[in-house]
Structures are given as C-alpha cells and as structure tokens.
Structure 1
C-alpha cells in the first residue's frame, strides 16, 4: 500500500524510524516527509497538493496540529500518532482526535505506531471498496437507552439518511467487517474491563472506537483524563473524538473510497454542507 508518512520534528525519530521499518517489512511503499506545520506551512501546502498515496500516517507531539491540517486538505484516510513529548501524550492525543465533524482523523494511543501499521494490514485484507455495505454500530444493549447513546444514534442516523447506506446495531463486533464501537467512559473507573477490545491479531476486522460521554461529563476536565486512561488500556486501538460517531462513519467511508464512490459526500461534509 502506498503510504505517506509525515512527521513534524526530528525529536520524534523514536516513533517514525521503527514505524517506517515495520511498514517496509510488511510490504508497504513508504514516502517519508518531515515538515513542521507551524514553521513551514507553505512547504506543507505544496507537498499536500501533489500527494498520490492511498493513506497518510502523520505524527506530532504537543500541539500536534499536523494530522488535522493534512486531513483538512485530503480525502484519503489520515491516521494520527500522538507523540508523548509531554504529559504522557495527553495534549497531542486530544489535538489529533478532537477534530470537527467532516474532517476525520483516526488516532492511535500515544506513541502507538504499531496500531497504525496493524490498521493498514487489516484494511488491505478487507478490501472495503467491494465489501463495505453497512455501518456496523456496536454498543452494549443495556446502554442503548442512555441519553448520550441516543444522541449518538441520532447523529449516526443523519448520515445514514444522506448516504442511503444501511446501519446495523449490535452488541458484539461483526467478524470480517468494519465496526464502529461506542465505548461508554466510566469516569469513576475508566480502566474497568470492556465488553469488546481490539480485534484479534491477524483477523480481517477493523474496529474504530468512539469514546461516549454524557453531556455533563463532556464539559468537565476530569472526563478528559478518564478518556485517555481508557485509550491506554486498549492495545492496538484506533479512536475518533469524544462522541464523534460522525467522524468514525466518515473515516469508514474514506477506507471504502478507493474508487471514489463516496468522494462527493466526503467533500460536502468537509466543506460543512452536511451536519451530524
């Protein structure tokens, strides 16, 4: 798979060097660029104008704007790796994952470059351009009546209504498919066992996790700490922003967009013409 790897600083070599090695060892074609979104915005603009990769893996620490800026410019999937330069990578994780609807970035846990490589392997095996026919929303059955889960389902339905792609709701991930897993964040015990974690190693399945918070908790700083603690307990996890089931669904469309079937919808969402 043709992969553009882009990082913003030499200080992240402990992440991008083993990342490049793993990608090459698994047969991916790697194009590497080091560009600071803050110090060289014009150079970044020129480089993004000529991208011909199938996917971008971008990493940054601290403010970590690079993955989001790339996602704002391209329709292909962008995987963001938060580099733990400070506070355990909490700042970078939220800078990467908390994107506005329409501009999805799939975030790994801090420093978890292996999760990005694993996602590419699963994506290649699934061949979603031919097999993607429904949004598989996974949530615990007894949580469906909670107000914040009802809100997420309403947002998901808005995308279903526009795309005419079926939505299936289940309490377990579907094998050999792309699953969007809603994860209720327990602020009191964020590391409690989850009903479903990452897909088994070697399986042909993708799981995108969406942290779910109540409206009240969403406004509280302590809830952010609970989210990052939960993220850290899911090895290999791929995440979108808090309550952002819409971006998880858009990321699914990007992964299934090899032939451009969803390009118009993705473009309209990016421009703000579609809301969820």
Structure 2
C-alpha cells in the first residue's frame, strides 16, 4: 500500500518520525511537511498527484490539515492530532468533528499506533464491503438519539445499495461501526470505527468533549459525534483501495 504522510510543521517530528518508521515495515511511504494554512496551493498540488492509496495527515493546535486533505482527495484520510497544546484536545476536536460527507478517521493524541494497527487488517473483501454492522448496546438502542442516528444511517446505506444490521456485537465479516455511549463500548482491539453517541443535552455541553477525548485515549479509530454515516463513507473508501 502506498501511504502519503503529510504533517503541518517540522516541530511535529516527535510524532511523524516513529510513525513513518513503523509504516515502512509494511508499506511504501512518501512524506512531506506542508502547512494547510501557510501553503494551501502547494498542498492542493501535491494531493492532485494522487500517487497514494491513503493519506495520513498530522497537525496540532488548529489542525486543519487532515480536513483539508479529505476535501481534496477521494482516498481515505487518517488524521493525527499532535499534542502541541492542551494534550492535543484542540487538535482532536479540529480533526474529529468533520461534517457529513467529508470524513477523517482519527486516533487519540499520541496514539498514532492505532492507525498502523488499523491498516494491518488484511481481510478486506467485496462481500464485507457491502454489509454494515452497527454495534450498539441493547439498553441504548431504543433511546431517541440512538434511533435517530440508526434511522438516518439505514436510509443512507440503502441509498448506497448497502446491507445493514443492528446488533450488540461486532462481526469480523462485516464493516463494524460501534456507537460509543460509555467507555465499556470501545472495541480497541477489533477492526471497527467508533462513533461517539451523545444526546442533545450532552452535545450542547462543551465539557462533554473531555469525555470523548478520554475515550479516544483508550484506542481505536474515531469519526465525528453522532455521525455514523461518515463511518460508512470511510469504510467504503477503504474497501475501494483493497
């Protein structure tokens, strides 16, 4: 697999050097430092070459780089929140909270190894790429906020011609999207994408993002709060390169 690694600053070497060395064990890696804020035209030109299978973009503070990459390529984009300030909280929020149809898969701050682990999954097949398994606890499934999220994801999946089911356990033969309501829901050792699931009151409370930050520190890859559809899009992008 050809992996394009791009970071926003030379000062992020503590993050990208070990990441690149680990990636080289199994992948063909290219690397550049390009700031999305200072050199957007250079970034757009580099992405336009499209000589990669996936992009891993890392940045700190106002971490626009991964999101900009996702807006300029159809390939999967993985975002690394660099812990420059606040333990990477600001960068995580910038990367995680991407809008519908512009997904970035992200890990917790200082958890770049989660991206490497995700990429090592080798059982990408066409059958699995058409079947989605939404994993949600039984006591959460019937709540209004869970039903809203499941319903719109089912409609979205149907429009894409995908099969979908809702269960309480992951299935290794399907695309697993795990709705996380509490820490115990996290499946860090399984091939899945996590989606923080919050009710309207919690979504309106800034302090609740600290909980999401803590969840990402437990491992796994993540997309935006209550945005299961972006997880589906991410999986589809991944299967398209397999």
Q: Which residue of 2 aligns with 1:148?
A: 145
**Alpha-carbon offset, residue 130 of structure 1:** 5.1
> What is the Cα-based RMSD across aligned positions, in Å?
1.4
**What do the CA deviations read for 1:239-265 (whole angstroms, capped 9, x no partner)?**
001111110111011111238xxxxxx
CA contact (8 A) 1:137 1:179 kept: yes
Contact 2:135-2:168 within 8 A present in 1 as well: yes
In the aligned structure 1, how far is the partner of 2:43 from the partner of 2:117?
A: 27
SS at match of 1:132: helix
Q: Report the equivalent of 1:230.
A: 215
- Name 1:42's counterpart in structure 2: 41
Cα distance in 2, alignment partners of residues 196 and 108 from structure 1: 13
TM-score by length of 2: 0.96
Normalised by the size of structure 1, how large is the TM-score? 0.84
1:147-166 maps to which residues of 2 (within 5 A)? 147-166=144-163
Q: Which residue of 2 aligns with 1:13?
A: 13
Contact 1:84 1:110 in 2 (8 A): yes
- Maintained 8 Å contact 2:179/2:185: no
Establish whether residue 248 from structure 1 lines up as the match of residue 238 from structure 2.
no
The size of the alignment, in residue pairs, is: 242
The residue number in structure 1 matching 2:222 is 239
What's the CA shift for 1:45? 1.2
Secondary structure of the residue aligned to 1:194 is helix
Consecutive unaligned residues of structure 1, counting only runs of 5 or more, are 186-192, 200-204, 260-276
- Cα distance in 2 for partners of 1:127, 1:244 equals 23
CA offset digits 1:80-130 (Å, max 9, x no partner)? 0100000110100010010000000001101211111111111xx112345
Distance 2:186 2:169 in 1: 7
| Residues in 1 aligned to 2:70 and 2:43: alpha-carbon distance in whole angstroms | 12
List runs of 5+ in structure 2 lacking aligned partners: none
Task: Name the CA distance, whole Å, in 2 between partners of 1:37 and 1:166.
Answer: 37
Indicate conservation of the 8 Å contact 1:81/1:108, yes or no. yes
Secondary structure of residue in 2 paired with 1:63: coil
1: CA distance, partners of 2:32 / 2:185 = 39
Deviations 1:151-210 (A, max 9, x none): 11012112122112110111011124431000014xxxxxxx5044212xxxxx511000
